[in-house]
Amino acid sequence: MKFLKIDMASATVSSTEVPQDYVGLGGRGLTSLMINSEVPAKCDPLGPENKLIIAPGYLSGTALVNSSRLSIGAKSPLTGGIKESNVGGTVAADLAHLGITAIIVEGQASAGTCFLLKIDANGNGELLDGAAYKGMRTYELVKKLKEAHGEKNSITCIGPAGEFLLTAASIQTTDADGRPCRAAGRGGLGAVMGSKGLKAVIVAKGGKAAAPLSDADTFKESAKIYAKAVRDDAGTPALSELGSAVLVAPINAVGAFPTRNARQGQFEDVEKITGETMAEIIKKRGGKNEHMGCAQCVIRCSNEYVDADGNYVTSSLEYETIWSMGGMLGNSDLDSIARLDFLCDDIGLDTISTGVAIAVAMDAGYKAFGDARAAIEMVEEVAKGTEFGKIIGNGPGAVGAHFNHERVPVIKNQSMAAYDPRAIQGMAVTYATTPMGGDHTAGWVVAENLEEFGGTLDRFSAEGQVEASRKSQIHMAAVDTIGMCDFAQSGFGAGLSNVCKMIAAKSGKPFSEEDWTALGTRILKAERQFNRNAGFTNKDDRLPRMFYEEPLPPHNKVVVISDEEMDKTFDF
């Protein structure tokens, strides 16, 4: 197993054995520990001292289901702190199959130059001139790169937004069908990639050099148990048929669906954009539900959305995008939401940050809520590189500053996601305290907060929320280290010990449940340390005033987690 080091200034690639300190790590564990150790916390995120680290999970490349998750780490130009951005598709499995533990992109190409990184079937890397691809949108880019390099590659790339160094720029990667529709969206890492002069990474599929497993038989047995737990889970069929959009109706029902820049918690037209409605439309028009977007997936939560004539619009239309371009904008037109999803993938923008940026513009009176055409025009302006397009592409914080508008739902300058913290207090803790900024997957405590049937916490009370968020954040840091898909966490239903067995069976070293918690804790400590060194204090672990002062209809609550309690989240 090896590291590929890419020196952009000299345009050279070298390969080293994985240093002892990083053996046994992958994904977010690897990227966060490396960024904390090797990147000066006060550096310019768009300068030569930042590093872009691309790492498959520790269990990526094995036969374990749903294990093709990639972590991309760097100092974020959006938050000014550490960032791990996570994405599926096939590239994590592809890299692991080539025996590559991480790609470390360092330095900066000379001004005006643009490169492609090609990794061939032997796992050797080479920088190629990318001038011909400068400025290309991702769908066109992928088409051209396939013509030049063949079909049997995954492509991980930036669009114009990353080349313009915009802080809501994503890194896109190809799904199982070869479309650049999977996004490492959060944190502006597309801008970091752009600042280094790297346009795309082409990775050969079908490698046979995955790390050997220390105990292949034990691994196989545990992997089977894990896969069965995912397949048998009551949630899997719903995810399969309706996608992550299955969340629209229930989150709206509990009044936690931020609507019109989080002025309300319920959208009166939600029925037009639920997962149920989307699935029916897709079925009727001949699109695809139960689509496999990522390697080795047994859930198939992806979809292919088509227009009224049956033509492809986008894949996969997710809960977060239906929220950010739908409810958050007061927009109930699913066709325009799908179009906005495609535009963001094509231009290389985070759909969450971009939707919220548009929401702030609408809230400031720039355009009316519900004006889908205006939303589409704003996103197209980003690609055109206009002054206002750059503001939108820099996210909601930039839009708020431009209009001098107070209601900007960002934490550490990264926008909130599709759960209002006033209606689910546990999410207030996660948004405020995760080192990642406004991030929902970092510590998703939504289910535990629905007391009515099943959850143990009162979602309007502070009680138990800090503990729940802390536990979830620690757990997720470890999940992100092994490269497991969030939706396949149902596999943990067969026991954490079963997962620990797989880690031990690969590494050849003992790995207990205590080690799992210690791993997550270690990662969070490193991330917190980086942020402190970058200048963050506990004042940055707070939500914007609107969440403490504006009661959210229909339940009319505010965030009730005190500053003191927030500060107890990382009491380790």
Partner 1 sequence: MKVKVRLYGTLGKKFPDHDPLNGFEVEIPQDATVGDLLERLDIAKSKIGIVSVQGRLAKAGKTLKQGDFIRIFRPIFGG
* Contacts with partner 1, residue ranges (CB under 8 A): 234-235, 237-239, 241-242, 244, 246-247, 249-251, 253-254, 271, 274-277, 279-280, 319-320, 440-441, 444, 446-447, 450, 452-454, 486-487, 489-490
Burial class (CB in 10 A: 0-12, 13-18, 19+), 113: middle
Using alpha carbons, select from 103, 145, 164 the residue that is nearest to residue 384.
164
In angstroms, the CA 55 to CA 231 distance is 27
Q: Measured from the CB of residue 247, what is the shortest distance to partner 1 in angstroms?
A: 6
* Comparison of 108 and 415: residue with beta carbon closer to partner 1: 415
Q: Minimum distance between the CB of residue 362 and partner 1, rounded to whole angstroms?
A: 25
Pick the closer one to partner 1 by CB: 36 or 259: 259
Least Å distance between CB 276 and partner 1? 6
Distance of CA 486 to the CA centre of its chain: 11
Q: Which of 279/398 has CB closer to partner 1? A: 279
Closest CB to partner 1 among 476 and 534?
476
Residues 115 and 109 sit within 8 Å (Cβ to Cβ): yes
**CB 14, min distance to partner 1, A:** 36
| 405 burial type by CB count under 10 A (0-12 exposed, 13-18 middle, 19+ buried) | middle
Taking the least distance from each CB to partner 1, the nearer of 174 and 321 is 321
Cα angle 543-86-511, degrees, rounded to a multiple of 5: 100
Contact partners, residue 354, CB within 8 Å, separation at least 6: 168, 324, 325, 340, 344, 379, 382, 392, 393, 395
The distance between the two most distant Cα atoms of the chain, rounded to a whole number of Å, is: 62
Closest approach, Cβ 335 to partner 1, in A, equals 17
| Minimum CB–partner distance for residue 280 and partner 1 (Å) | 6
Surface-to-core class of residue 360, CB atoms within 10 Å of its CB (0-12 exposed, 13-18 middle, 19+ buried)? buried
The CA distance from 546 to 549, in Å, is 5
Residue with smaller CB distance to partner 1, 436 or 546: 436
- In whole angstroms, what is the distance from residue 387 CA to residue 326 CA? 25
Gap between the Cα atoms of 266 and 552, Å rounded: 9
Residue closer to partner 1, measured from CB, 235 or 464: 235
- The minimum distance between CB 242 and partner 1, in angstroms, equals 7
Region at 59 (left for phi over 0; alpha for psi -120 to 50; beta for the rest): alpha
Q: Which residue, 441 or 512, has its beta carbon nearer to partner 1?
A: 441
Q: Smallest distance, Å, CB 512 to partner 1?
A: 25
Contacts 24+ apart (CB under 8 A), 556-559: 557/422, 557/423, 557/460, 558/422, 559/421, 559/422, 559/425, 559/428
Q: Decide: residue 365, CB within 10 A, 0-12 exposed, 13-18 middle, 19+ buried.
A: exposed
Using an 8 Å Cβ cutoff, are 306 and 341 in contact?
no
Three-state DSSP class for residue 546: helix
Q: Which is nearer to partner 1, 19 or 454 (CB)?
A: 454
**Smaller CB distance to partner 1: residue 108 or 414?**
414
Structural contact between residues 99 and 181, judged by C-beta atoms closer than 8 angstroms:
no
On the question of a cis peptide bond just before residue 316, with omega within 30 degrees of 0, the verdict is: yes
Cβ 290 to partner 1 shortest distance, Å = 12
If DSSP codes are grouped into helix, strand and coil, which group holds residue 291?
A: strand
In whole angstroms, how close is the CB of 20 to partner 1 at the nearest point? 34
**Given the complex with partner 1, which of 486 and 567 has the nearer CB atom?**
486
Instruction: Write down the least CB distance from residue 151 to partner 1, Å.
Output: 30
How far apart are CB 253 and partner 1 at their closest, in Å?
Answer: 5
CB closer to partner 1, 129 vs 451: 451
Closer to partner 1 by Cβ: residue 152 or 283: 283
In the block, residue with structure tokens 């669906």? 257
Task: Output the CA–CA distances (angstroms, integers) from residue 90 to 28, 97, 139, 224, 285, in the order listed.
Answer: 17, 11, 17, 21, 28
Q: Which residues pair with 171 in a beta bridge?
A: 184
Q: Based on CB atoms, which residue is closest to partner 1, 240 or 331?
A: 240
User: Smallest gap, in angstroms, from Cβ of residue 237 to partner 1?
Assistant: 5
As a whole number of angstroms, the distance between CA 398 and CA 406 comes to 12
Q: Closest approach of Cβ 554 to partner 1, in Å?
A: 8
DSSP 8-state class, residue 455: -
